[in-house]
């Protein structure tokens, strides 16, 4: 299919099923678009891998989606965005590539006081891109990065609510005074699927935000600029692929889109 066609699909990729939280928001915003999703669950999680490995996986994912006819690609993975988006954009030139980054701006705007916890993979938090983002705010002493190695694996196996997950989250948050938290930024696209479990621990007064809606809006804006929004009025199609040969992953993927 022509990559420049308005009816061509929008491609999404992530290290696994997490990016479906972003594609879900795009579908709400642009239900008439066609969508292709590639989850790299065979290589998940990216957040504890070598940087060069993640770059290679990212190039392979974009090649896969372009061969499927994608007119644009969303890197629906914070880790891949932080380590690979510059190289990908340089290599692919005018081909639209949209990334995602931790939603610090709305968290900072939400309250003038209190701590902002950024839950993300170790790689996302250690990269220069995140440090530059954090340093762009005057209240950087209130921004607390919280590496959550191991959380992605719960979501990849479809465990969105269990005693083990609750214990894991309690352990991650145990050293933080809950009364001092104003907001939590979910800096990994897998994490919105366990938002309710996080809320159980920190309470309803803590604002929990992720970058999915902002990324979907940016995608629409970019497609509009290049006149590539689908003007068809019927509901679009959704196709999901995964590098894992486990059929349960595909079933889980469609289930997560409905949450």
Residue 162 shares a structural domain with residue 144? yes
Q: Which residues are documented as binding site for substrate?
A: 14-15, 46-47, 78-79, 189-190
Helices and strands in the chain, H and E counts: 11, 9
* Catalytic member of 70, 85, 118, 188: 188
pLDDT at 98: 98
- Number of domains composing the chain: 2
Residue 93 shares a structural domain with residue 108? no
Check if 188 is active-site.
yes
The CATH number covering residue 177 comes to 3.40.50.1860
pLDDT at 155 over 70: yes
pLDDT (tens digit per residue) in 199-209? 999 999 999 99
Element (H, E) at 156: helix 151-156
Among residues 100, 48, 49, 62, the alpha carbon closest in space to that of 78 is found at: 100
pLDDT (tens digit per residue) in 178-194? 899 999 999 999 999 99
* Catalytic member of 9, 17, 36, 77: 77
Give 172-220 as a DSSP string: HHTTS-GGGEEEEEE-STTGGGGHHHHHHHH-TTSEEEESHHHHHHHHH
Residue 205 shares a structural domain with residue 253? no
pLDDT (tens digit per residue) in 2-60? 677 899 999 999 999 999 999 999 999 999 999 999 999 999 999 999 999 999 999 99
Q: Which residues are documented as binding site?
A: 14-15, 46-47, 78-79, 189-190
Single pTM value for the model? 0.95
The answer to whether residue 5 is domain-embedded is no
pLDDT at 112 over 80: yes
Residue 198 shares a structural domain with residue 113? yes
Residue 222 shares a structural domain with residue 96? yes
Residue 144 shares a structural domain with residue 158? yes
pLDDT at 235 over 60: yes
CB 38 within 8 A of CB 80: no
Check if 232 is active-site.
no
Residue 223 shares a structural domain with residue 202? no
Q: Biggest alpha carbon distance in the chain?
A: 54
The answer to whether residue 182 is domain-embedded is yes
Residue 202 shares a structural domain with residue 229? no
Q: Residue 118 is part of which domain span? A: 104-210
Residue 200 shares a structural domain with residue 124? yes
Six-digit token string for 47: 């957040």
């Amino acid at each position: 299919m022509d990559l420049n066609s308005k009816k061509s699909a929008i491609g999404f990729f992530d290290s696994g099923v997490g990016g479906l939280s972003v594609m879900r928001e795009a579908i709400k915003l642009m239900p008439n678009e066609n969508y292709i999703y590639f989850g790299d669950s065979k290589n998940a999680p990216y957040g504890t891998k070598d940087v060069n490995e993640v770059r290679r996986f990212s190039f392979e994912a974009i090649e896969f989606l372009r061969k499927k006819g994608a007119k644009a690609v969303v890197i629906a993975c914070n880790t891949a965005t932080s380590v690979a988006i510059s190289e990908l954009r340089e290599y692919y030139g005018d081909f639209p590539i949209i990334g995602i980054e931790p939603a610090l701006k709305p968290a900072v705007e939400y309250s003038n006081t209190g701590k902002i916890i950024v839950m993300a993979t170790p790689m996302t938090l250690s990269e220069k891109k995140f440090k530059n983002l954090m340093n762009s705010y005057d209240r950087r002493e209130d921004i607390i990065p919280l590496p959550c190695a191991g959380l992605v694996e719960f979501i990849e196996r479809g465990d969105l609510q269990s005693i083990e997950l609750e214990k894991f989250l309690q352990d991650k948050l145990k050293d933080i005074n809950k009364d001092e938290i104003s907001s939590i930024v979910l800096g990994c696209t897998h994490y919105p699927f366990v938002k309710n479990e996080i809320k159980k621990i920190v309470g309803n007064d803590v604002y929990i935000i992720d970058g999915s809606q902002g990324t979907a809006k940016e995608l629409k804006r970019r497609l509009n600029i290049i006149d590539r929004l689908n003007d068809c009025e019927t509901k679009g199609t959704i196709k999901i692929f995964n590098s894992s040969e486990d059929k349960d992953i595909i079933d889980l993927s469609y289930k997560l889109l409905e949450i």
